[in-house]
Structure 1
Amino acid sequence: MVSLPTDEIAHDFPPFFRVYKDGRVERFHNYVYVHPSDNFNTGVRSKDVNNNSARLYLPKITEKEQKFPLLIYIHGGGFSIESAFSSGHDKYLHSIVTKANVVAISIDYRLAPEHLLPTCYDDSWSVIRWTSLHVEMCDHLILTEETVMEPWLKDHVDFSRVFLAGESAGANIVHDMVVRASASEKPLGDGFKIAGIALIHPFFGNDEVDEYCSFIFPECEGLDDPRLNPAAHLRLLSSLICRKVMVFTAEKDFLRERSLTYYDALKKSGWNGEVEIMETQGEDHVFHLLEPNCEKAALLMKRLVEFFNEKI
């Protein structure tokens, strides 16, 4: 006898997803997938790489051996919605690459609740590790199907100027990636240098999302887990290998307080770097993606571009 789907709800977490008792997952937001493309107006080109785990963007080339800083971008969406391949994020990355003149790799990780955390962290780390293999020293590696070199990275990236950035849950993942990269054994090698990270409206949790975080991350150590609330772990903050951190907040963001706490903790941790914060008045969480053409989104973009082009 075939059992019919039931409408009985087991877990309900708006605005992200609902889980029914028969195991079905209903997302409240479904993104529009777009293919990689070449923009003939800006000269930016894109393609999917590393078994479709990321989308790579190349700015307009004016010299044959031209080198650019590298931006590694990680999308948000509460760890459970959105994609690097969505129309919104693809358009946003095209814009960043055009304005900042960087090579960018936008990571696509598997989503909760089908893939519980820490899957998103491990997927993102895998892409970063693959990217780091393109440093000059890796000419001596024995290549496999998993470590095939990507010419856009190999030929056009200055690996002494790597930046990581992301919004919301993506900013959370970015911080964990830098913590992993800061381990004493130098897992990404000497030639792969993370100059700075930009955290846009980071998802560092609060009491309102405690139940949600516990559901998608059953292995976590509560809301003070170092991956959810890094401000509670000064030793990890003090050892970050990047030289600059840029934190973006929004006045009406329900996650704003943890962003401010992170900023204060990083300043007090003994970390040997520079941290800056920019708050947008009158705006809510990730407003710059919801209204990318508004004046305040343009100001946020301008500061991002400046950050990626600063001499660090």
Structure 2
Amino acid sequence: MSYLPYVVEDCQGVIQIFSDGSIHRQENIDLSRFQVIDDGSVVWKDHCYDKHLNLKLRLYKPKSATKKLPIVYFLHGGGFCNASFTWPNCHNLCLRIASALSVILVVPDHRLAPEHRLPAAFDDSLTALKWLQEMVISHKSDQLVNRMMGIGDIFDYFDFDNFFIIGDSSGGTIAHHLAVQQGPGSPVLTPIKIRGYVMLAPFFGGQERMKSEVEGTDEWLTVETMDILWKMSLPIGKSRDHPFANPFGPMSPSLELLELDPILIIVSKDETMKDRVKFYAEKLQEYGKVVRYSEFDGEHGFYRNDPYSDVSNSLLNLIKEFMVQYSS
């Protein structure tokens, strides 16, 4: 007797894993509630940074730029399983960051789980950084960037000595792993010099529940959804205490003796991950790292869903202060 495959994991109907190992991904996700807000003050263009895997990134530049600008390397969220820089809410946030902070923005996509489980997203994010490094070192920007941007040599506006990484949700998790991997100033990435990291509600996990995970009121990112995302993105059979998910898990490298660049950590007061993010910040501060922690009103991703709100403006001002403080 033959049996039809049945669903063994389901993430909000968007991604389903079946008993035979096959995966169904809903391609037509309704994002109509997010309308692109583009006032024309920022120009942008996509480019392929990994032709073998067909992975792309998007470059944003303020039209008014007349001098070198700091660079922000923005890592989008999605629980490692969803999202892209092409999604309208992510694009709106990136337009807003480039304009409000007056920066060049580099926004890579990465392979998605469960088709490509971790560390695929970590590897891809580093590959995009190395692509950027190679573009500068090899002096290929004249031919490549002129074609892709149509605005002249964008690398004339890159201040590689003032490079910051911002990670949103699971992008914040990637930012954590990059910070640990690269060390202070990122010498392996020269001439890129990372000055600091901004982690927007970094997506961490752990087997032991924290209070906000049990009592959280965030209706979108519930602890149940977080559990499913970890099941789909971690190596098969691994728990939420895996080093990819839990910076303080039993098998995670000790952060106490590591040197890290300055870190700004943001979390929403009402979100499920609040206590875990706060614990992360407090442990780093306890270890003597340069860490600033701040809570904002709202639910997970408030800055992405409405980047022009008053609370989003306050967040952007805080990020700007952080960048000014730690710029060269």
TM range (shorter): 0.7 to 0.9
Matches within 5 A, 1:137-152: 138-139=137-138, 150=145, 152=153
Alpha carbons of 1:70 and 1:48: their partners in 2 closer, same or farther (altered >3 Å)?
same
Residues 172-193 of structure 1 show CA distances to partners (whole Å, capped at 9, x for unaligned) of: 011112222229994313x321
* Alignment correspondent of 1:277: 293
Structure 2 distance, partners of 1:288, 1:155, is 30
The residue type paired with residue 196 of structure 2 is: G
Q: Percent identity?
A: 25
CA shift for structure 1 position 97: 0.4
The residue type paired with residue 202 of structure 2 is: P
Residue among 243, 250, 253 paired with 2:268 = 250
Structure 2 distance, partners of 1:249, 1:16, is 26
Alpha carbons of 1:187 and 1:222: their partners in 2 closer, same or farther (altered >3 Å)?
farther
Structure 1 distance, partners of 2:307, 2:165, is 20
CA shift for structure 1 position 234: 6.8
The residue type paired with residue 58 of structure 1 is: K
Q: Say whether 1:81 aligns with 2:79.
A: no
The residue type paired with residue 158 of structure 1 is: D
* Alignment correspondent of 1:225: 242
DSSP 3-state at the match of 2:96: helix
The residue type paired with residue 320 of structure 2 is: V
Residues 162-212 of structure 1 show CA distances to partners (whole Å, capped at 9, x for unaligned) of: 0000211111011112222229994313x3211111101110114444564
Alpha carbons of 1:251 and 1:47: their partners in 2 closer, same or farther (altered >3 Å)?
same
The residue type paired with residue 313 of structure 2 is: A
CA shift for structure 1 position 285: 1.3
Matches within 5 A, 1:1-312: 8-14=6-12, 17-21=15-19, 23-27=22-26, 30=29, 41-51=39-49, 53-63=56-66, 66-135=67-136, 138-139=137-138, 150=145, 152=153, 154-182=155-183, 186-189=187-190, 191-207=191-207, 208=223, 209-210=226-227, 212-218=229-235, 222-232=239-249, 235-236=254-255, 238-242=257-261, 244-271=262-289, 274-281=290-297, 283-312=298-327
The residue type paired with residue 71 of structure 1 is: V
Structure 1 distance, partners of 2:11, 2:325, is 40
CA shift for structure 1 position 139: 4.4
DSSP 3-state at the match of 1:83: coil
DSSP 3-state at the match of 1:310: helix
Please list every run of 5 or more consecutive structure 1 residues that lacks an aligned counterpart in the other structure.
none
CA shift for structure 1 position 268: 1.9
Structure 2 distance, partners of 1:299, 1:108, is 27
CA shift for structure 1 position 46: 0.4
TM-score by length of 2: 0.77
* Alignment correspondent of 2:52: none
Contact 2:185 2:193 in 1 (8 A): no
Contact 2:80 2:170 in 1 (8 A): yes
Following TM superposition, where does structure 1 have runs of at least 4 consecutive aligned residues deviating by more than 6 angstroms? none
CA shift for structure 1 position 106: 0.6
Contact 1:27 1:81 in 2 (8 A): no
DSSP 3-state at the match of 1:225: coil
Alpha carbons of 1:53 and 1:102: their partners in 2 closer, same or farther (altered >3 Å)?
same
Name the structure, 1 or 2, with higher relative contact order (CA <8 Å, separation 6+). Answer: 2
The residue type paired with residue 278 of structure 2 is: L
TM-score by length of 1: 0.81
Please list every run of 5 or more consecutive structure 2 residues that lacks an aligned counterpart in the other structure.
50-54, 147-152, 208-222
Measured on the aligned residues, the alpha-carbon RMSD in Å equals: 3.3
CA shift for structure 1 position 311: 4.2
Structure 2 distance, partners of 1:197, 1:214, is 27
The residue type paired with residue 24 of structure 2 is: V
Contact 1:75 1:83 in 2 (8 A): yes
DSSP 3-state at the match of 1:277: strand
CA shift for structure 1 position 84: 1.1
* Alignment correspondent of 2:217: none
Contact 2:15 2:25 in 1 (8 A): yes
Structure 1 distance, partners of 2:108, 2:40, is 22
